[in-house]
Amino acid sequence: MQAQRVCFVEKDQVAMETVEVAPPAAGELLIEAICSVISPGTELASLRAKPNTSGEFPMTSGYCLCGRVLEVGEGVEDYATGQIVVSAMPHASLMTASTGICRAVPDGLAPPQAAAYALVAISLQGVRKARVQLGDSVAVLGLGVIGNLAAQLCRAAGATLVTGIDVASWRGDLARRCGVDRIAAGAEDAERPRHPVRGEGFDAVIEATGHPEPIVDALQLARRLGRVVLLGSTRGLASNVNFYRDVHHKGLTIVGAHGAARTRAEDVGHLRTRASEQLTSLDLLAAGRIDVDALISDTMPAAEAPRAFARLSSGEEPLMTVALDWTA
């Protein structure tokens, strides 16, 4: 069997390629793609060969895919032919995937929404690590897809004040429509909450820009004994950090929240396995608690994936992300 797949041929160059797909082995599913969603932060960083990416080409890309099961391999009991599933597989029309990286899609959840499950799960583990509680104030730096979702999840977790910070006014406007309480163009413009007991500053700050410079802002926005979570995959080195003033003396807790930094076998307190976070994300989406429709700025035929990446990379349009339609 043959499939079409998105390939990063070299730096800043995307193409479609034809590949052979083998029948599913034991414990695998053969999945026909319905749609996939581009993860702009991670995928564009890899396409541009930014720091802390592999820099090796050619490479496949993508991990947010929804499709239909065509065949099940030997020993598979939890999935059936015709079932709609999501999988952390690259952008492709047809693929085999281990059942361990597939999840059943709840009834009534549209494929584009379901395909965004992995993005929600990344933001969810960051919010959990921020220990957001009822009544907390939270600042989110960077209102791209991951930051916007993190802000929505903070509200769902009970934060009474969520402030989003982003230099792009259109991303701020979108975040406000998604329920974020306050919007600021920069850290210096963000009004610090003043609590009669906890003092000045945010209980938790989530850095989601992926740039090193705002890390200093995140440290300074947090209150004494506050929490700072590094959710965006930082591409580069942070300089001018006064660790005594901004971390040590304030007693901050700083947590790295890479999507892979999860417990592997079982849930432990606020730390959850990848499967657990992904299932929770699908449940939240199915319940309508999280708005991903607002973040999918356009849907394009999968054959036009090179143009979709070019549009996202150029920054000339107000695009959050793009869904690729594999049925077109």
Model confidence over 30-79: pLDDT tens digits? 999 999 999 999 999 999 999 889 999 999 999 999 999 999 999 999 99
SS3 277: helix
Integer-rounded Cα Rg, in Å, for the chain is: 20
Q: ∠ CA 159-284-203 to the nearest 5 degrees?
A: 15
Instruction: Give the pTM.
Output: 0.95
Beta strands in 166-273 (DSSP E): 182-184, 194-195, 199-200, 202-207, 222-230, 253-256
What is the set of domains in the chain, with CATH numbers?
2-97+282-325 (3.90.180.10), 123-256 (3.40.50.720)
Beta strands in the chain (DSSP E): 2-10, 13-20, 28-37, 59-60, 65-72, 84-87, 94-98, 102-104, 137-141, 161-165, 182-184, 194-195, 199-200, 202-207, 222-230, 253-256, 296-301, 321-325
Report the pLDDT value the prediction gives residue 264, as an integer from 0 to 100. 82
Instruction: Please name which of 321, 264, 305 lies closest in space to residue 16, comparing C-alpha atoms.
Output: 305
Banded pLDDT at 89 (limits 50, 70, 90): very high
For residues 156 and 136, give the distance between their C-alpha atoms in angstroms, rounded to a whole number.
Answer: 12
Residue 302 predicted with pLDDT over 90: yes
Calculate the dihedral angle through the C-alpha atoms of 108, 110, 113, 116, rounding to the nearest 10 degrees.
Answer: 100
> Lowest-pLDDT range, 163-167, 177-181, 224-228, 270-274?
270-274
Q: Average per-residue pLDDT in the chain?
A: 96
For residues 158 and 204, give the distance between their C-alpha atoms in angstroms, rounded to a whole number.
Answer: 13
Banded pLDDT at 270 (limits 50, 70, 90): confident
Q: Kindly tell me the burial class for residue 325, based on how many C-beta atoms sit within 10 Å of its own C-beta (0-12, 13-18, 19 or more).
A: middle
- Strands 65-72 vs 28-37: parallel, antiparallel or unpaired: antiparallel
